[in-house]
Structure 1
Amino acid sequence: MSSLVRAASLTNYSEVALAGGLDPARMLVDAGLSPSVLREPDLLIPVERVGELLQTSAVMSGNESFGLCMAESRLLSNLGAVGMLIRDQPTLRDSLNVLMRYQALLNGSLLLMIEERAGVVVIREEVMAGNAQQPTRQRIELALGVMLRLMRQFLGASWQPRRVCFEHSAPRDLSAHHRLFGRCIEFDYDFNCIVCAKADLDTRNPSADPAMARYAQQLLDASARPQQGARMLEDVRRTILLLLPSGRCTIEQVAEHLGVVCRTVQRRLAERDQSFSSMVNDIRKELVTRHVIEGDRPLTEVAMLLGFSAPSGFSRWYHAQFGCSAKESRAVRGAVHSLAA
């Protein structure tokens, strides 16, 4: 079953499409979406179609930063009821915790992780491709752009992160990235993230309204109860993504990370017609799109990022999944790019 995302994820799509010489209505129809979704922000639509729309729009407009341009004027109000709850939290840290708790209500394919060490905070975002062959560049740049906009609503419009990192390679034109993120940007990194100081997360929110926050949370909790099984699924996916590069991605480690026993994880996955091994395999196939098809990392590094202890294990797995070697996939990609040029 396809993951779903609120139609509000397409906020500003028409403006960016028109600026790129596209017909927004025609692009939506071609992606299998009705143009009316732009007027129904709370409507849930298939994330794969959104991904197809953004990727095709970026290619046809010649704007490699299409998704990022959509993020430039996003507001908390675009997140609906979750945005209202985020707005009235006492600190940015509390707001990000709210976002993680209710992420599935906004976007079933977006995973958010926060790591702290030595006074530095790393806010990681991952997107599940759904279709293993669908590029994720536009969706992840949109997601990180929206995250930065959220943080600036607490920290001020001039606030700058310490670093912003992307798994994919740099575009030819970096002007949109510099305009939104500043100059501390790194590409071809191990994961997608925004890095800031711990003190930033503990900044107080002088306009927080505790009474409004309690009311908004009650409404959201009521709507989230039927989705507890789906939430466990997303928690497991998020933890697999976190643990894969460490080589410790076992169901035992995932259960320990989530604070439950293995049987609970197995039972919840079975309720959703899933198994742990199939989830690991699906996530590896999605990551392959970024690191083999879209990226230029050495394949030994790709093997490590996908949780293989040796390149030979990665090579055998890749051939079993795709019927060719990773080197052959890259050679095909290079030939296609040469023809396009």
Structure 2
Amino acid sequence: MKKTLAIGSVNMILWAANTRGLDTSDILKSLRISPQSLQNPDERIEIAKVQTIWKAIVEKLGDRSLPLQMGEIISPISVGILAYVMMHAPNLGKSIEKLCQYQDIVCNAVETTFHQKEKLSVIDLRVNSEDMIYPEFALESEMSVYASAFRALTLSEFKLSEVHFEHSPTSDLAIYQRIFHCPVFFESGKNWMVFESSQLEKPILNANASLFPVFEQHAQDLLAPLQLKVLFSDVVKTEIVKCLVGQEPSLNHIAMTLGVGIRNIQKKLKEEGKSFQQLLDEARKELAIKHLKQPYSSTTDIAYLLGYSEPSVFYRSFKKWTGQTPSAFRA
């Protein structure tokens, strides 16, 4: 499934750029994003396009610090239903828990997890989209908004102990200090927000216990369709079926078609308990059964159609799959 950003968050990026005097209409036009789609609350924009928007904005402004300043520019409640769930949680700990649970509603290209230790707690952000070629834009803007939101929720009592980024600094270090109010480390191999666990018990200002389940149910309804997972093995298998027209598709050919490296394909398939050869056999078996149920093609024609160099190889394979020869199955 394509990784996307909610249209509300896209509008926040555009609004932040507008506050700096930048007209973003040309950027949107080049990406074929219509004004109507920006008004549709259910619309989502693919991460590849969002990355292009960010890159164009920072280049036109000549200021790479805009993502880092998002927490200062926007109101925390602008995040929509996720913000409302967090605002009516009983305490900061539960609010952060719900942030991690429903964060995909806003952006499913960055996985946010929460680890509570004895004295220190960590919010861990990990990019999970190959389209995120400028991860610093997303990571800095999200962490900036989170820090601002936590302070607003606890009436400015929230304090970070340290912040870590995988990337190099994109702006003057003084800006990082102004945003996070704590030591910030770069190229540390992780994207962490670290704070004292004692702060998890801080109550949320003006939280309404009766509204919390209402907003959470809405969040669950929005999250459900985003979690319908399409297995990578199914994507590969579909591509194999497309290419099974008189020749056996190679792993290299499928990799080029999908625009994914061979090793990456093998790794992802292994994670799902599959192999390329297994998917090729499954695709051939399904197509063979489909063709054999039709009276128009001979078994020899089907063998060559499925990319077998010799009909005898197809016969042996089919009997291994089904326990029958192609002719017996057709009969």
Name the TM-score, length of structure 2 as normaliser.
0.65
In structure 2, the partner of 1:182 is 181
In structure 2, the partner of 1:294 is none
- 1:213 Cα offset (Å): 0.8
Do the aligned partners of residues 17 and 220 (structure 1) sit closer, same or farther apart at CA in structure 2, a change above 3 Å counting?
A: closer
How many positions carry a matched residue from both structures?
Answer: 244
User: Aligned equivalents of 1:224 and 1:71: distance in 2?
Assistant: 24
In structure 2, the partner of 1:2 is 2
In structure 1, the partner of 2:250 is none
In structure 1, the partner of 2:27 is 27
- 1:224 Cα offset (Å): 3.5
User: Aligned equivalents of 1:19 and 1:222: distance in 2?
Assistant: 33
Could you tell me whether the CA contact under 8 Å between 1:155 and 1:200 is conserved in 2? no
- 1:115 Cα offset (Å): 1.6
Amino acid of the structure 2 residue aligned with 1:7:
I
Matched, 1:278 2:272: no
Do the aligned partners of residues 43 and 117 (structure 1) sit closer, same or farther apart at CA in structure 2, a change above 3 Å counting?
A: same
In structure 2, the partner of 1:336 is none
Could you tell me whether the CA contact under 8 Å between 2:88 and 2:207 is conserved in 1? yes
- 1:26 Cα offset (Å): 1.2
Report 1:64-75 matches (<5 A): 64-75=64-75
- 1:138 Cα offset (Å): 1.0
The secondary structure found in structure 2 opposite 1:63 is: coil
- 1:144 Cα offset (Å): 0.7
- 1:279 Cα offset (Å): 7.2
The secondary structure found in structure 2 opposite 1:170 is: coil
- 1:37 Cα offset (Å): 4.7
- 1:23 Cα offset (Å): 2.2
Do the aligned partners of residues 126 and 280 (structure 1) sit closer, same or farther apart at CA in structure 2, a change above 3 Å counting?
A: farther
Do the aligned partners of residues 7 and 90 (structure 1) sit closer, same or farther apart at CA in structure 2, a change above 3 Å counting?
A: same
In structure 1, the partner of 2:195 is 196
In structure 2, the partner of 1:304 is none
The secondary structure found in structure 1 opposite 2:228 is: helix
The alignment-based identity, stated in percent, is: 20
- 1:161 Cα offset (Å): 0.8
User: Aligned equivalents of 1:51 and 1:139: distance in 2?
Assistant: 9
- 1:117 Cα offset (Å): 2.3
Amino acid of the structure 1 residue aligned with 2:139:
I
Amino acid of the structure 2 residue aligned with 1:44:
R
Name the TM-score, length of structure 1 as normaliser.
0.63
User: Aligned equivalents of 1:20 and 1:226: distance in 2?
Assistant: 36
The secondary structure found in structure 2 opposite 1:52 is: helix
How far does the alpha carbon of each residue in 1:200-241 deviate from its partner, in whole angstroms, 9 at most, with x for none?
1221225221111111222333343444433xx8xxxxxxxx
In structure 2, the partner of 1:213 is 212
How far does the alpha carbon of each residue in 1:47-67 deviate from its partner, in whole angstroms, 9 at most, with x for none?
221111112221232212121
- 1:34 Cα offset (Å): 2.9
Could you tell me whether the CA contact under 8 Å between 1:71 and 1:142 is conserved in 2? yes
User: Aligned equivalents of 1:19 and 1:191: distance in 2?
Assistant: 31
User: Aligned equivalents of 1:204 and 1:153: distance in 2?
Assistant: 12
- 1:17 Cα offset (Å): 2.6
Could you tell me whether the CA contact under 8 Å between 1:29 and 1:35 is conserved in 2? no
- 1:30 Cα offset (Å): 2.6
- 1:193 Cα offset (Å): 1.3
Report 1:1-341 matches (<5 A): 1-18=1-18, 22-131=22-131, 134-157=133-156, 159-230=158-229, 277-278=267-268
Do the aligned partners of residues 163 and 276 (structure 1) sit closer, same or farther apart at CA in structure 2, a change above 3 Å counting?
A: farther
In structure 2, the partner of 1:309 is none
Do the aligned partners of residues 279 and 11 (structure 1) sit closer, same or farther apart at CA in structure 2, a change above 3 Å counting?
A: farther
Amino acid of the structure 2 residue aligned with 1:114:
F
Could you tell me whether the CA contact under 8 Å between 1:152 and 1:159 is conserved in 2? yes
- 1:197 Cα offset (Å): 0.5
In structure 2, the partner of 1:328 is none
Do the aligned partners of residues 159 and 103 (structure 1) sit closer, same or farther apart at CA in structure 2, a change above 3 Å counting?
A: closer
User: Aligned equivalents of 2:90 and 2:184: distance in 1?
Assistant: 29
Do the aligned partners of residues 279 and 168 (structure 1) sit closer, same or farther apart at CA in structure 2, a change above 3 Å counting?
A: farther
Do the aligned partners of residues 280 and 198 (structure 1) sit closer, same or farther apart at CA in structure 2, a change above 3 Å counting?
A: farther
User: Aligned equivalents of 2:171 and 2:269: distance in 1?
Assistant: 35
- 1:31 Cα offset (Å): 3.7
Larger of the two Rg values belongs to structure: 2
User: Aligned equivalents of 1:47 and 1:5: distance in 2?
Assistant: 6
Do the aligned partners of residues 215 and 279 (structure 1) sit closer, same or farther apart at CA in structure 2, a change above 3 Å counting?
A: farther
- 1:3 Cα offset (Å): 1.0
